[in-house]
Amino acid sequence: MFSSVPDLQVTRLIIYPVKGLAGQQLPVADVLERGLAWDRRWMLVDDNDQFLSQRQIPDLATIEACITGPELLLRHRPTEAKMRLSLREPEPRQKIGVTIWRDQVEAVVISAATQWFSDILQHSCRLVFMPDSSRRGINPAFARSGEIVGFADAYPMLLVGEASLFELNARLAVPVPMNRFRPNIVVSTKEPFIEDQWGELEIGSATLRGVKASDRCSVPTVDQATGKPVGPEPIRTLNQFRRVGRGIYFGQNLAIVRPGRIALKDPVIVKARISAVYA
């Protein structure tokens, strides 16, 4: 058992209500069984009902998605075009099966947003919502019974330590901001990549489980302010010192052991450590 370390505390909390869109920083957030409340409950799909992300459409980064009172507010930064959608679970007028990686999940089409997104992105797409009735399990290779996730790639939450970004930026000619990695929780660490070894964590009133290090794709090469790919960095440099087998790793994926509430400056209590999992 490990005790609280005073300088381990939450420095940022971020949700991404619509998968692939810009995130929303929060002072406090509820942790539910799928992850942070409203995190990646909406998603864009193409004409084949396959999920869309910044991998296919980097310009998704230029659209902000924020929870404001009873609404989801969408704002396209370059044009200031806006749309508001109710947070009430939509009537299932059109349910479809959508595909995210190897999973097929039932979702509700938000038809009111179809034209808005298609016009802004110049790409045929539909917005869908994951209703409470849809139960998508986390990666079965690392799952415990009953663990579920929203439209995130595979796990409910992603945690990154500040020291990991400092170490990466010390190796880059041009440093990159934390938002390139789209974490949910940022922690004030002093040792780079120590979060890879965090097993059970207590943060606020929530208990979380470190599952495995997060293998990275091309999204960190997208400038989150402009929606433009500016690679090959930071993936090229990460490849030099964070490659294990076929993966490049940055950040720790988390599952939910006990729901609760997390706030900025909450201490992070490492209750158990694990051997880092790169798989």
Least confident of 88-102, 179-193, 218-232: 88-102
pLDDT digit string (tens) for 58-113?
999 999 999 999 999 999 999 999 999 999 887 777 899 999 999 999 999 999 99
> pLDDT band at 247, cuts 50/70/90?
very high
Least confident of 85-99, 204-218, 245-259: 85-99
| pLDDT over 60 (residue 262) | yes
| pLDDT over 60 (residue 125) | yes
All structural domains of the chain, each given as residue ranges with its CATH number in brackets, are 10-270 (2.40.33.20)
Residue 71, pLDDT score: 97
**Angle value at C-alpha 267, between 271 and 166, nearest 5 degrees:** 95
Nearest CA-CA partner of 256 in 182, 163, 145: 145
pTM of the model: 0.95
| pLDDT over 50 (residue 5) | no
| pLDDT over 80 (residue 37) | yes
- Per the CB < 8 A criterion, the answer to whether 182 and 23 are in contact is yes
C-alpha separations of 55 from 32, 60, 80, 147 in Å: 27, 10, 24, 26
Mean pLDDT of 121-140: 95
Residue 153, pLDDT score: 95
| pLDDT over 70 (residue 121) | yes
- Per the CB < 8 A criterion, the answer to whether 59 and 44 are in contact is no
Residue 190, pLDDT score: 97
Mean pLDDT of 14-23: 98
| pLDDT over 50 (residue 2) | no
> pLDDT band at 7, cuts 50/70/90?
confident
Residue 6, pLDDT score: 55
Which tokens in the block code for residue 131?
């209703």
Residue 3, pLDDT score: 44
Q: What mean pLDDT value characterizes the chain?
A: 95
**Percent of all residues in the chain with a pLDDT value above 90, rounded to a whole number:** 94
**Rounded Cα distance, 208 and 120, in Å:** 37
- Per the CB < 8 A criterion, the answer to whether 59 and 51 are in contact is no
| pLDDT over 90 (residue 1) | no
| pLDDT over 90 (residue 207) | yes
Residue 89, pLDDT score: 80
